[in-house]
Amino acid sequence: MLLLVGLGNPGKAYAGNRHNIGFMALDAIARACNAPPFRKKFQGETSEARLGLERAILLKPETYMNESGRSVAEAARFHKIALGDIVVLHDELDLAPGKLRVKVGGGNAGHNGLRSIAAHMGGDFKRVRLGIGHPGDKNLVHSYVLSDFAKAERPWVEVLCGAVAQNVDLLARGDDSLFQTKVHLAMEAAGFAS
């Protein structure tokens, strides 16, 4: 069983924020898999889905980004899910908008959600890095990630989240390279390749 975690902040005020692209991608996965409605559990919202042959718990922590690890640790303990079976979808400043990379472990690059999960669980979980671009000045990062995607950006966000959802079974079976390729090809086909 996998624990598939989308990172973001709860509430309508944050729903369209760049920081919430992890929630957006997880919602797209839930829709594509016809998952039952999310319900409150583990200090977050959870559902379940079948990703190819794998069963997955879908989790959106509601502890706010900086405390995401509390929710993730609680769900992992309850379901006895090993660190290697945790997949976290999150926003990535160091990737161009619409780019995606998968990696296991590594640093947190100042991402407080990843830092919190690593503090509670250890850092060797899989990360699906969803590129949102960088504002160009580190002093602008906080306001940038907490601002909504511009209207002109929403089409690539929808295509990216849709491509993640359509190919998530590859991620679930550990074929990270093919997953990345399929998402890239979907972005390219929609005219968003750079």
Active-site positions read 19
**In angstroms, rounded to a whole number, what is the distance separating the alpha carbons of residues 107 and 114?**
9
Q: In sequence order, what are the residues at sequence separation of 6 or more whose Cβ sits closer than 8 angstroms to the Cβ of residue 24? A: 6, 8, 157, 161
The residue among 123, 121, 91, 120 whose CA lies nearest residue 7 is 91
Distances (CA, A) of 191 to 16, 46, 82, 194: 22, 33, 38, 9
Distance from CA of residue 35 to its chain's centroid? 17
- Report yes or no: 45 and 16 within 8 Å, Cβ to Cβ: no
